[in-house]
Amino acid sequence: MTGAHLASSLVDRGLSAAEQPAKASLYDLALAAWREQHDRPPEHAWWVPGRLEVFGKHTDYAGGRTIVAAVPRGFAFLAGHRDDDVVCIVDARSGDRVTIQRGATGGAFTGWRHYTEVVFGRLARNFPGAMLGAQIVFASDLPRASGMSSSSALVVGLATALARLWELPDRSAWIRNIRGCADLASYFACIENGLTFGTLIGDAGVGTHGGSEDHAAMLCAQPKRLSGYAFVPMRHLDDVIVPTAWQFVVASSGVTAEKTGGAQEAYNRLAEAVRVLLHLWNADHERQTSLADAVSSAPPAAATLLEAVNRSAVPGWTSNALADRLEHFVREDGRVSEALEAFRNADAGRIGVLAVASQQDAERLLGNQIAETTSLARLARKAGAFAACGFGAGFGGSVWALVEAEAAGEFAARWLAAYRAEYPTAVRSVTFVATPGPALTQLSP
């Protein structure tokens, strides 16, 4: 097993050939760290991509729709058994590690280590007696906390490795609850947000109240395609090929989109507003399980709910804040079907109009954009992109741009230079060409 071999296999599965040298280096980094930790070669290797959200900001946990793809950056994972009952996980790039033993009670870790603790704890509780010693090494070229869901990619990779090493797919509880890609993505999302999935009981999760669009992209996306999904429950809507004349370019703002501290509170408040809106609907109407079901239950449902919002008195909420959240959901959810059709018809003008509206609504109604992401979207259009929009949880993060494919590399350089001219301290910002790549891919038996 070599980095070159693993990268070549990944290209065979649909990753852009331009990414092969970088992925060979990434797997070489992981393999070198593995050899420092273990005297046997790894038994398994995987690729876990980051996520590109094209349309569908904060719609998934409300039962709405999104358009997503897998980006060509992500995590290289290696895994194998140990002879003891310890799970040891190593970040090859930093050298940081975490070890967890059977019976660990939790609460001791912060940062990325906290995610390992959450994944370990949930799987151990949902599948008692399954734990075996495990060695896991990962290396990532995905910009951290950049809106491309590095945290969810870490959860997916860890859960995938432990499930394989512990032989969880052979267990009756797994077979009863997880019947395909959508179920697997939904369960991994529930590991992260703490919700119960089927008979697999939930817990506190990592502390964020998000949905499952990230996991849908990471587990179910297809190379060179955009995928439409609806949620609560997750279901696949459609796939569309990205026109060959177009290319996505992604720019990270360099501003950390952390889901911790104050940013986590702001992120969770957007999800809490959805729960408040659904409660207001269910108080006077036939009960619905999601905001999407509520507003689609009858033609005037959204207007009826807005009337309830305007006469409500919910502690901690103004009617204006709830009205903005409702308007954003209805408008953003509605763009998804339009955008899928526009991509199918290679209608660049329509995609551009939808992207401008999505960006403006995120700034005005959702309130999750910052000056840097707003500037990146503006600068992308000024530099020649026919569409550009911020994506991800917000409060930092990244922006995607669509350009003519032949100009993508040159555009990426000009876009980054223009951005750094406005924000000289944004030294962590990067741009890269983002041809949609493969989802979670096992590169070994």
Q: Which amino acid is at 422?
A: E
Reported as a single tens digit per residue, the pLDDT across 324-382 is 999 999 999 999 999 999 999 999 999 999 999 999 999 999 999 999 999 999 999 99
Look at residue 273 and tell me whether its pLDDT is greater than 50: yes
Q: Which amino acid is at 123?
A: L
Mean pLDDT of the chain: 94
Q: Nearest to residue 383, comparing CAs of 395, 375, 391? A: 375
C-alpha separations of 63 from 59, 235, 240, 325, 365 in Å? 7, 10, 21, 14, 19
C-alpha angle 293-294-295 in degrees, rounded to nearest 5: 95
What is the domain partition of the chain in residue ranges?
Answer: 3-240+438-442
- Residue 263 pLDDT: 61
Look at residue 258 and tell me whether its pLDDT is greater than 60: no
Q: Which amino acid is at 400?
A: W
Tell me the β-bridge partners of 226.
240
Q: Which two tokens stand for residue 281?
A: 């609907």
Share of the chain above pLDDT 70, in %: 97
Q: List, edge to edge, every strand of the sheet that includes 431-433.
A: 387-391, 398-404, 246-252, 431-433
- Residue 392 pLDDT: 86
Give the pLDDT band of residue 105 (cuts 50, 70, 90): low
Q: Nearest to residue 138, comparing CAs of 121, 119, 125? A: 119
- Residue 142 pLDDT: 94
- Residue 359 pLDDT: 98
- Residue 111 pLDDT: 87
Reported as a single tens digit per residue, the pLDDT across 176-229 is 999 999 999 999 999 999 999 999 999 999 887 788 999 999 999 999 999 999
Q: SS3 for the chain, per residue?
A: CCHHHHHHHHHHCCCCHHHHHHHHHHHHHHHHHHHHHCCCCCCEEEEEEEEEEEECCCCHHHCCEEEEEEEEEEEEEEEEECCCCEEEEEECCCCCEEEEECCCCCCCCCCHHHHHHHHHHHHHHHCCCCCCCEEEEEEECCCCCCCCCHHHHHHHHHHHHHHHHCCHHHCHHHHHHCCCHHHHHHHHHHHHHCCCECCECCCCCCCCCCCCHHHHHHHHCCCCEEEEEECCCCEEEEEEECCCCEEEEEEECCCCCCCCHHHHHHHHHHHHHHHHHHHHHHHHCCCCCCHHHHHCCCCCHHHHHHHHHHCCCCCCCCHHHHHHHHHHHHHHHHHHHHHHHHHHCCCHHHHHHHHHHHHHHHHHHHCCCCHHHHHHHHHHHHCCCCEEEEECCCCCCEEEEEEEHHHHHHHHHHHHHHHHHHCCCCCCCCEEECCCCCCCEECCC
In the CATH scheme, what architecture does the domain 3-240+438-442 have? Answer: 2-Layer Sandwich (3.30)
Q: Which amino acid is at 345?
A: N
Reported as a single tens digit per residue, the pLDDT across 136-180 is 999 999 988 788 999 999 999 999 999 999 999 999 999 999 999
Give the pLDDT band of residue 396 (cuts 50, 70, 90): confident
Give the strand pairing for 235-241 and 225-230. Answer: antiparallel
Q: Is 284 exposed, middle or buried (0-12, 13-18, 19+ CB in 10 A)?
A: exposed
- Residue 91 pLDDT: 97
User: Could you give the CA distance from residue 56 to residue 210 in angstroms, rounded to a whole number?
Assistant: 13
- Residue 261 pLDDT: 46
Share of the chain above pLDDT 90, in %: 87
Q: Nearest to residue 390, comparing CAs of 21, 58, 105, 7? A: 58
Q: Nearest to residue 116, comparing CAs of 129, 99, 131? A: 99
**Contact between residue 436 and residue 70 where contact means Cβ atoms under 8 Å apart:** yes
Tell me the β-bridge partners of 243.
none
Look at residue 260 and tell me whether its pLDDT is greater than 50: no
Look at residue 294 and tell me whether its pLDDT is greater than 90: yes
- Residue 257 pLDDT: 67
Reported as a single tens digit per residue, the pLDDT across 57-94 is 999 999 999 999 999 999 999 999 999 989 999 999 99
User: Could you give the CA distance from residue 106 to residue 120 in angstroms, rounded to a whole number?
Assistant: 10
Reported as a single tens digit per residue, the pLDDT across 229-238 is 999 999 999 9
- pTM value is 0.95
Give the pLDDT band of residue 122 (cuts 50, 70, 90): very high
